[in-house]
Amino acid sequence: MGSAQDIIGVGAELFTWVGFGGATLCFLGLVTVRASLGKPVSSEGVLAETDDGTDLRWLADDGVLRSRKLTASETADATDPDELFVYFRRRTPDRVELQRVDHAERVLRLLGFILLGVGVVATVVSVVVMVI
């Protein structure tokens, strides 16, 4: 059986591969998601009260006025109707969000940075174990 130093070295190398490999896959996935969705475009949004609830209306790049119903969570986010900006993709101007970044992009970016941090810490531990 190896010494504790050998076991720590092997574990650190394993976490280095998992961290850097996973971060690479996450960042490649992020690039793929951004390429497939396109860049978000902003527009001013307007809230309109109707009999069915609150409608969100915006003017897309093609000059067509679009609208959709607000969800309950979006109604809470849209507290200041004078400063309401909506974000849509040129490929899908009917699908609008109140936040610039899509949820898939956020998750992939956060997971990529976490795994990158794991890889960096594991590399530092591996070098320290090698020097000692």
Compute the mean pLDDT over every residue in the chain, rounded to the nearest whole number: 86
93 and 114: one domain?
no
Quote the pLDDT of residue 79: 67
The reply to whether 51 and 81 lie within a common domain is yes
* Digit-coded pLDDT (tens) for 29-59: 999 988 888 888 888 888 888 888 778 888 8
Q: Are residues 18 and 61 in the same domain?
A: no
Q: Are residues 48 and 64 in the same domain?
A: yes
DSSP state of 113: H
17 lies in the same domain as 53: no
Task: Give whole-number Cα distances, 37 to 33, 103, 122, in Å.
Answer: 6, 12, 34
Q: Are 30 and 44 contained in the same domain? A: no
Say whether both 112 and 123 belong to one domain: yes
Tell whether 93 and 72 lie within a shared domain. Answer: yes
Range of the domain at 47: 39-97
Clarify whether residues 92 and 119 are in a common domain.
no
Going residue by residue through the chain, which has 132 residues, state the pLDDT in tens, using 9 for 90 and above.
578 888 898 999 999 999 999 999 999 999 998 888 888 888 888 888 888 877 888 888 888 888 888 877 777 766 676 678 888 888 888 888 877 777 888 999 999 999 999 999 999 999 998 888
Tell me the C-alpha distance between 53 and 31, whole Å: 37
Q: Structurally, how many domains does the chain consist of?
A: 2
77 & 92 share domain: yes
pLDDT at 32: 94
- Structure confidence at residue 23 (pLDDT): 97
Which pLDDT score is estimated for 81? 66
CA neighbours within 13 Å on the CB side: how many for 58?
A: 24
